[in-house]
């Protein structure tokens, strides 16, 4: 099996980075016109900057208001907008689902994609993967696209305008990166691009974990004050770049499968991707029989930054046995990443791990 490392063509991060959008597009030979797919917050915060930066670069563009979801209906609506406008590139501006929808559209139309996240709430910006949801909010499918974004531009002046909960959720998503990467590497399974992991990918995944522990609480304090600080910059990089490269080029395992399982319970739908992934990390560690000290470190970190460590914290204070069974069955569906674990996993084993992880979380917060 060949080793494969996947990454965006260019990554730009920093204060007021959107001012350089036009120049960065020109430097990469992307002359437009560009279809911007944007959430409401992105338009409110960036419309004037887009006009100024793209006008200076002489790049024409149009804006399509995103519905904020990544469903097949939303993707179809964006495809129609791109085709009507005649644009030659697709730019996603917003949260993870907006970026995923824009990425799927760019892939379907064989166009370059530009990723401009307005939150650091997930590792979606850098990847070549879109998570498609049903209209009911359940995970429908993974769409593996052919190319990573040509450009990822992260404006930390915008990131700090988002609610602190979103940064914390991004840390929850990034928390899974190292634990899933080391599992996939040890199991010699294929990563998200169909190859073996590289040492570079696992090193980035481990750096992501250590950055979270070192800078997470300080970065969260900064974003509460809407302050761009070195710690905030490092956590944004960890949530976005390190986690994105680490998961894609090393692989996913139980933590993200548990997230997918949790979407089978409607009570969890108000909670963010990274919040559910954080509980998935705890469940994966229980499933793997991880050392108590490691589990305690994860519990301490999650508690400090406000990530869920119990089912109750995800809207399931007293889940019915049928609900837990549905979560376990969905998490272990054929093709799910939980089967990258280096041992056989079924719904019964997963159900026990869910219950044990919940018990540990309850004891830790008592």
Residue 129: its pLDDT value, please? 87
From 215, 273, 339, 358, the catalytic residue: 273
- Average pLDDT over every residue of 177-198: 93
User: What is the secondary structure of 308-358 as a DSSP string?
Assistant: --SSGGGT-SS--HHHHHHHHHHHTSTT-GGGGSSS---HHHHHHHHHHHH
Is the pLDDT at 112 greater than 90? The verdict is: yes
326-340 residue pLDDT tens? 999 999 999 999 999
Tell me: pLDDT of 96 over 90: no
Q: Is 51 helix (H, G, I), strand (E, B) or coil?
A: helix
Whole-number average pLDDT of the chain: 95
259 catalytically annotated = yes
Query: Considering the entire predicted model, what is its pTM?
Result: 0.93
In this structure, the strands spanning 34-38 and 89-94 are parallel
Tell me the percentage of the chain whose pLDDT exceeds 70: 100
Which residues face 62 on adjacent strands? 35
Banded pLDDT at 155 (limits 50, 70, 90): very high
Any catalytic annotation for residue 256?
yes
Active-site entry in 123, 215, 256, 339: 256
DSSP string, 254-301: HHHHHHHHHTTSGGGTTS-HHHHHHHHHHHHHHHHT--HHHHHHHHHH
* Interval 171-179 mean pLDDT: 98
32: closest CA among 64, 11, 57, 66? 57
Q: Is the pLDDT of residue 33 over 90?
A: yes
Q: What is the mean pLDDT of residues 88-114?
A: 95
Choose the catalytic residue: 123, 215, 259, 358: 259
User: 158: which residues sit within 8 A by CB, 6+ positions away?
Assistant: 18, 45, 46, 118
Residues of the chain with CATH 1.20.1090.10: 164-365
Compute the distance between CA of residue 352 and CA of residue 322 in angstroms, rounded to an integer. 14
Domain ranges in the chain with CATH number 3.40.50.1970: 11-159
CB atoms within 10 A of CB 56: 13
Q: Which of 155, 173, 215, 358 is catalytic?
A: 173
pLDDT value at residue 263: 93
* CB contact at 8 A, 12 and 151: yes
Question: Is it the case that residue 138 has pLDDT exceeding 90?
Answer: no
Interaxial angle between packed helices 292-305 and 273-288, expressed in degrees from 0 to 180 and rounded to the nearest 10 = 170
> 273 an active-site residue?
yes
Q: What is the DSSP letter of 3?
A: B
Q: How far is CA 53 from CA 5, 21, 48, 50, in A?
A: 32, 6, 9, 5
3-state helix, strand, coil in the chain (%, to 5): 60, 10, 30
Domain at 11-159: CATH code: 3.40.50.1970
Instruction: Determine the Cα–Cα distance for residues 226 and 223; give it in Å rounded to an integer.
Output: 5
Residue 122 has pLDDT above 90, yes or no: no
Question: For 237-274, what is each residue's pLDDT tens digit?
Answer: 999 999 999 999 999 999 999 999 999 999 999 999 99
Q: Please state, in angstroms and rounded to a whole number, the distance separating the CA atoms of residues 207 and 50.
A: 33
Which of the four pLDDT bands, split at 50, 70 and 90, describes residue 192? Answer: confident
Q: Which residue has the higher pLDDT, 281 or 138?
A: 281
Query: Region 54-79: what's the mean pLDDT?
Result: 93
> For residue 33, is the peptide bond before it cis, meaning its omega torsion is within 30 degrees of 0?
yes
CA separation, residue 137 to residues 93, 121, 128, 204 (Å): 21, 18, 21, 31
Which CATH superfamily, name and number, covers 164-365? Dehydroquinate synthase-like - alpha domain (1.20.1090.10)
| DSSP 3-state of 116 | strand
């Amino acid at each position: 099996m060949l080793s494969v490392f996947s990454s965006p063509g260019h990554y730009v991060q920093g204060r007021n980075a959107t001012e350089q959008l036009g120049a960065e597009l020109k430097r990469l030979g992307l002359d437009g016109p560009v279809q911007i797919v944007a959430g409401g917050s992105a338009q409110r915060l960036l419309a004037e900057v887009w006009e100024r930066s793209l006008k200076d670069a002489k790049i024409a563009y149009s804006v399509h208001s995103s519905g904020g979801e990544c469903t097949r209906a939303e993707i179809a609506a964006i495809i129609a907008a791109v085709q009507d406008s005649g644009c030659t590139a697709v730019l996603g501006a917003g949260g993870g689902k907006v970026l995923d929808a824009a990425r799927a559209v760019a892939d379907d139309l064989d166009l370059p994609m530009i990723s401009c996240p307005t939150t650091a709430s997930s590792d979606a910006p850098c990847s070549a993967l879109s998570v498609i949801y049903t209209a009911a909010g359940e995970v429908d499918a993974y769409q593996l696209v052919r190319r990573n974004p040509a450009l990822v531009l992260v404006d930390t002046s915008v990131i700090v305008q988002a609610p602190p909960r979103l940064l914390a959720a991004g840390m929850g998503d990034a928390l899974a990166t190292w634990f899933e990467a080391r599992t996939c590497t040890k199991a010699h399974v294929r990563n998200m691009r169909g190859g073996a992991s590289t040492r570079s990918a696992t090193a980035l995944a481990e750096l992501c974990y250590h950055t979270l522990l070192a800078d997470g609480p300080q970065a969260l304090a900064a974003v509460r004050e809407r302050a761009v600080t070195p710690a905030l910059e490092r956590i944004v990089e960890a949530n976005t770049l390190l986690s994105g490269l680490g998961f894609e080029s090393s692989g996913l395992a139980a933590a993200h499968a548990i997230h997918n399982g949790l979407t089978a319970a409607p009570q969890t739908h108000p909670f963010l991707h990274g919040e559910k992934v954080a509980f998935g990390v705890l469940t994966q560690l229980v499933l793997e029989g991880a050392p108590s000290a490691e589990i305690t470190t994860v519990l301490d970190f999650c508690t400090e930054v406000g990530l869920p460590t119990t089912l109750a914290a995800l809207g399931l204070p007293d889940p019915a046995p049928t609900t837990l069974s549905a979560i376990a069955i969905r998490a272990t569906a054929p093709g799910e990443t939980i089967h990258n674990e280096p041992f056989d996993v079924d719904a019964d084993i997963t159900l026990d791990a869910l219950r044990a992880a919940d018990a540990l979380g309850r004891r830790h917060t008592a």
